[in-house]
Structures are given as structure tokens and as C-alpha cells.
Structure 1
């Protein structure tokens, strides 16, 4: 299929521009007609390898699940539900995806099979849950659970951003202040100190040398940093063993590593509990959730858990051997297995991690802010000391 850039007219008579994949111009006109658009003009677009399409974000998936659940609960057939949802979307990329799903279902595929045609939008866990809902006749309940899970994932992502925003702002302020001081202020002071012909303290000499390096080789430092980051990213994406060691090191970081592990495990336990409650077996649930943890070290741990279960170990025993969960969680799982209420135990595990994540982030924020304030104050004090000491000596000699 080719990608076409088109200009069309909607039912209100307004011109609409966008892009869509189609086999040819006739197929493009047919697809646009199903969206309620009349094709005016179209040209094939030459794809560039590095050009990325608009990515469907989590909020759009939440709206998709919520609206589809509401339509199905109201008794609206799934094709009409998807068509109504497609016509209400404003983003052309997602509207195109829903249109393709409608066509696939009209061609005889089930909803989960149609969703699998778009793995960049609907991951394996999403499709597995929808398939389980189709088989059990509980698709609206599954969609409601997916909506809640996506909302929880969105909250966890917001927590992670909250941790990063404040340090990033402080680091930017520190870098800007140091850059201005080293490039503009310190060179002028260095000329003043040189004209005075006075011996300088070691702190001042170091500051002047650092300023000279930044002025002469600052561009090289910036280019080297960017090149280093790009090379590191390429190495991590092409060397699985290196990626495994890097992800394991991230989990061992003080404070940040612990919070990162809890955020990942909170997301995993929520998905795991929902999949098990939807009728998916433990092995299939673990295998489906391996791709959502986002950390190769934890993914390897989950693979070991799955191997232990296939060898005959109980769920709680498998997690205890791999040491992914703390003892309290493994005890909760063991109680759930012994009482036959594993779904309740998994829901309790998910609640435990959700609460633990919130508490850990609150503690981390409480420790990060004063730490960064002290660091910023220490840097400014060191610079002021290196500058004011020789200035004080010059003023003292002038008085004498």
C-alpha cells in the first residue's frame, strides 16, 4: 500500500487535508467515502525512512475503550459503534486506524484480529484481553477494565514525569548560570586580576582555567556530549547484553532505582490481575505482560517466573525464587493460592504497589528538593568564593 496526501470535502462543505494509506486512488476514494469525505485531489507521498508518524497516545486509547464500552453496553452493534467512534475523532491518524478496523471486521475478522493489524497502536496485552472478552462474552467488562488500567498507567507516567521535571528545571538553571558566568563574567574578572599582578588562590586559578576551556572548546564539548549520547543509544539498541546490564544498573540506583522498579511492578501487577480476572491463564498472562515492563532485566525475571511455573512451581514460589516481589507480596499470593482466591490476591498486590508507588514518590520528592537546593547553593558559594577572595585582596591593597 502507498501513502497518499489528499484534499477532501466533509459533509459541511469544509476542505479537509490529511494522509492515508491506500492501494491506489480508487481505493483511497473508497476509504475516504466511508469516512464521509469526498476526494478532491490526492498525490502519493514519498516516505522518508527517518520520518515518524503521529503516535497514538494513551489518552486517545482511553477514549476509544470508554466510548466503545458505552456503545456496546447500550446494545449498539460493534460495527456501528466503531463507525460512530471513527466519525467523532479529530486526529486523522487514529481515524484512519479505526476506519481500517471497520473494514477488517466487515471482511470477516473479529475485533481482536482487526486490532492485531495495528501492533503500533494496540499491543499484545490489549489484543489478548479483547480476545478473552470476545470468547467469554464479557467484552464491555473487559473494555471497562482496560479503561481503568490505562488511566492508572497514565497516572504512573505522570508520577514519573513529576520526579523528572523538578531536577531537569534545576539542572537547566544551574547550567545556564554556570555558562553565563564562565563565558562572560569570569574572563572579564581574569583580565582585572591579571592587570593587578596579584597571586591568585587555587580556587580562582581553577575557575579561570575552566572558563578558558569552555570559551575555547565549549562547542567541542557540546558536540562530544551529543555524539556520546547518540552512540550510547545506538549501542543499547543493538547489543542486548549491554542493554541488560544497563537496565539492571538502573534498578540498582539509590532512590531512583527503587522508585523505577516500583512503578514498573505496579503497572505489571495491574495488568496481570486484569488478565487473570478476564480468564487468561497465568502463563499466557505473564508472557503477554513481559513486553510492557519496559526493562530487560525485569523481563528476563518474568521469563524465569514463567519457566518455573511450567516446571511445576506455584505462582508464589516462582516469584519468591526470582525475587521480583517483596516477601509481603509473595505471602499474599500464597494465601490466595491456598484459599482459591488468587484473583483477589492479585488485586491486593496491585493495590499494594499502587499505594507503594505514591508513597515512594512523595518521599523522593521530599528528599530531591532540599538536596538540589544544597547543591545549587554549594556551587554558587564556590564560585562566589573564588571570585570574591582576590577582589577582597585587591581592595585591601588599594586601601593600604
Structure 2
């Protein structure tokens, strides 16, 4: 006998009035418009207008972000703690979603769980959204009957990690963005402004100063080959990204190079240690075996050098070696971190010590980012002043010379 095809669920937008004659509106899922009317009347709502929402979407802002997952975890944890069954909690969460991709994801989770699939197993069907750590914690929560606590822990972990990532982005992107603007302004001056001065200099009948002549030559080059310069820059960025994705050796060398950069390298080191410690502490305290927890911790560091080191540490720990001894052999972690881990292993409070390490290095990153921002602002302004001011001075030098001769 052929299996019955499940009815297709649509999303409807409705407008109506409640018992107090107040105008209200919302969205509801149903098989057809008649079921929507029936559901609304059951809630004492008189529907005035009902329309099926279009599936068409430009895809702008539709990407599922870490913030979406954090909010989902907190909502689900709150409802489960209040005694709401998981399937019903997922249904309520779906109704509050505005992103199509997130709605589809949660609808799939709800269908899987309602069919008897464990929550962790349903989550593992979406590895691009729910990482191993998330799934492992949910699995541990289901096994111990503390799913709501684990979801709260995941939400807190995600918030801390996103805050740290945003701090790093702020420190790295700000000067790059300002310098790009400076380069754009300089290119505009060379292509549009300097040629006008060059026409004026042609009537002087005198030899131009060396600095001015150099800028004029650079302007001529940019006028003729500007497309080649910008094409080369764009091509370089594309090539680096392409090589990162295609060559593990190149990506590893690039990660190693960034760690050796002045100031930025130290920031990336501290960030990697903070991420490693926070992830390992969160996993281990939830009952995840240390070897499995190291897998998630290595992936969370955001740097291939640290990830490779943590992979080797995992192999050492699997053979019975102490974690702190393996960390010393990696020669990446500060002495203080190794000592804290050693104390944690001896006292049986490894997760507590790792949390303290994570708190310390996250605060170090925050302080360093604030210091970098306050130092970089005047430095970037000075660099832009030198570039733009140099071009202006070069253009006025011949005029100053003519004035001194006269």
C-alpha cells in the first residue's frame, strides 16, 4: 500500500479584530485558508483579510547567523524549563521567525523530533548550522534529562564567542577600511586633479621640482593603467582566498604568518587561547569526554596552527598523556595557561580553571582592542595626511618656486 503523502503546510498572513474590536494581525501556518479561519475563530478572532505569503525571496539578510542560533537556544530552553514539550516549543519558535531559511530549518527539526528522532540527531542533519559542540551538549542534556540547562549553556557560550569575534573584527577591519578609503581618494586625485595642474605647469616653461615630476609621472601611469592596478589588487585578494580554500599548506602558512605579525599576531594568539579555553571548559563541564572535547576546541580557535597543535594534543591525551604536558610540548600556550591546566587536572577542577583562563584572556583581548583602536586612529589619520598632503604639496611646489623667483 502506497504511503500517504503528508499535506503541504503554507504560511498565511492575517488581519482581523479580537473580542474587544481591536485591530490585530499576525502569521499562522496551515494547510489551506479555511483552516486558518477555523484556527482564528477558535481564538476569538474575526478574520477580515487572509493571504498566503509568497515563497519568493531575494535572499537578502536570509543567512542564518550565530545570533539566530543563540536566540533559538534561549527560547527553546525557556519553554522547556516552563514544561512545554519540545515539539510544541519548536512550533511556537517557528511562528516567531521572520527568516525563511531559519523557519525551514526549525520546521525540519520539528518534523524530525515529532517522528521520534532525538533532538541531537535531528540537529546533526544540519552540520553547517549546528557544530559538533552544540550537538554534543544537546546529546548530553538529553541523556541526563537537563536539556534546558545545556541549551542555556550553549547560548551563553555562543554569546561569549561572538563577542570575542566581533572585537577581533573591529580591531582588524577598521584600519584596513580607512586605508582603502585613503587609497581611493589618492587615486581620484591622481586621475582627476593632478592632470589639471599638469596643464597649468606646461605654460610655466620651467623644469618641475623632482617631487612634483614624480607625482606627475605617477598620475600619467594611473591614467593609463588604473584598471590594471585595481585589477591586480582584486586579483590578489581573490587568489589568496582561492589558495586558502584549495591548498591546506598555503592556508597553514598564511595562518602562521598572521601569528607573527607585530601587535596583530599577539591579538590573534590571545584570541585563540581564549576560544580554546572557553570551548574546552564548556564541553568538558557538560560531560563530554576530554578527547572529543578537544576536537571542538581545536576547530573553535580560528587558526590552523592552533588547530593542528590541538589535534596532536588530542592524540597524546588519547594515549594517556596529561593535557598540561601535551600543551607544553605544543609551545603555543603561555606558561600561565599550562600551570592553570596542570592545577585543574591535579585538583579535578579542569573546567573551572579553563573558565578562569578564558575570562582572563577575553579581558586581555578587550583591553588590547581598545588600546589598538585608540592608537590606530591618530596613526591612520597621520598616514592619510601624509599621502593626501604630499600630493597637495607636490602640486603647489612649482607655484611656490615661481613666487620666490618673482
Q: Provide TM-score, normalisation by structure 2.
A: 0.85
Say if 2:178 is the partner of 1:175.
Answer: no
* Corresponding residue for residue 168 of structure 2: 160
CA deviations over 1:56-97 (Å, ceiling 9, x no partner): 111111110111111111111111111111112121211111
* Corresponding residue for residue 226 of structure 1: 234
Say if 2:12 is the partner of 1:9.
Answer: yes
Q: CA deviation at 1:255?
A: 0.7
Q: Give the Cα–Cα distance (whole angstroms) in 1 for the partners of residues 148 and 68 of structure 2.
A: 18
**Which residue among 272, 289, 292 is the counterpart of 1:284?**
292
Q: CA deviation at 1:371?
A: 1.9
Q: CA deviation at 1:40?
A: 6.2
Q: Give the Cα–Cα distance (whole angstroms) in 2 for the partners of residues 11 and 390 of structure 1.
A: 73
Q: CA deviation at 1:15?
A: 11
Partner SS state of residue 203, structure 2: helix
Q: Give the Cα–Cα distance (whole angstroms) in 2 for the partners of residues 7 and 73 of structure 1.
A: 30
Partner SS state of residue 254, structure 1: coil
| Cα pair 1:7 1:39 within 8 Å, conserved | no
Q: Where does structure 2 lack aligned partners over 5 or more consecutive residues? A: 1-8, 17-24, 41-49
Q: Give the Cα–Cα distance (whole angstroms) in 1 for the partners of residues 264 and 377 of structure 2.
A: 14
Structure 1's 97 and 345: CA in aligned 2 closer, same or farther, altered over 3 A? same
| Cα pair 1:8 1:15 within 8 Å, conserved | no
CA deviations over 1:260-308 (Å, ceiling 9, x no partner): 2222322221111111100011111001232222322211011111122
* Corresponding residue for residue 4 of structure 2: none
Instruction: Single out whichever of 380-389 and 125-134 deviates more from structure 2.
Output: 380-389
Q: Give the Cα–Cα distance (whole angstroms) in 2 for the partners of residues 332 and 351 of structure 1.
A: 13
| Cα pair 1:7 1:42 within 8 Å, conserved | no
Q: Give the Cα–Cα distance (whole angstroms) in 1 for the partners of residues 331 and 401 of structure 2.
A: 61
**Which residue among 341, 349, 367 is the counterpart of 1:359?**
367
Q: Give the Cα–Cα distance (whole angstroms) in 2 for the partners of residues 164 and 287 of structure 1.
A: 27
**Which residue among 323, 338, 345 is the counterpart of 2:346?**
338
Matches within 5 A, 1:143-154: 143-154=151-162
* Corresponding residue for residue 144 of structure 2: 136
| Cα pair 2:323 2:341 within 8 Å, conserved | yes
**Which residue among 196, 199, 202 is the counterpart of 1:194?**
202
Q: Give the Cα–Cα distance (whole angstroms) in 1 for the partners of residues 236 and 355 of structure 2.
A: 43
* Corresponding residue for residue 65 of structure 1: 73
Partner SS state of residue 196, structure 1: coil
Q: CA deviation at 1:218?
A: 0.5
Structure 1's 41 and 93: CA in aligned 2 closer, same or farther, altered over 3 A? closer
CA deviations over 1:221-274 (Å, ceiling 9, x no partner): 222222222222112211111111111111111111211222232222111111
| Cα pair 2:279 2:300 within 8 Å, conserved | no
Say if 2:267 is the partner of 1:264.
Answer: no
Structure 1's 214 and 29: CA in aligned 2 closer, same or farther, altered over 3 A? farther
Q: CA deviation at 1:11?
A: 5.2
| Cα pair 1:159 1:361 within 8 Å, conserved | yes
Say if 2:393 is the partner of 1:385.
Answer: yes
Q: CA deviation at 1:158?
A: 2.1
**Which residue among 117, 120, 135 is the counterpart of 1:112?**
120
* Corresponding residue for residue 300 of structure 1: 308
Q: Provide TM-score, normalisation by structure 1.
A: 0.86
Q: Give the Cα–Cα distance (whole angstroms) in 1 for the partners of residues 380 and 118 of structure 2.
A: 54
Q: Give the Cα–Cα distance (whole angstroms) in 2 for the partners of residues 381 and 323 of structure 1.
A: 46
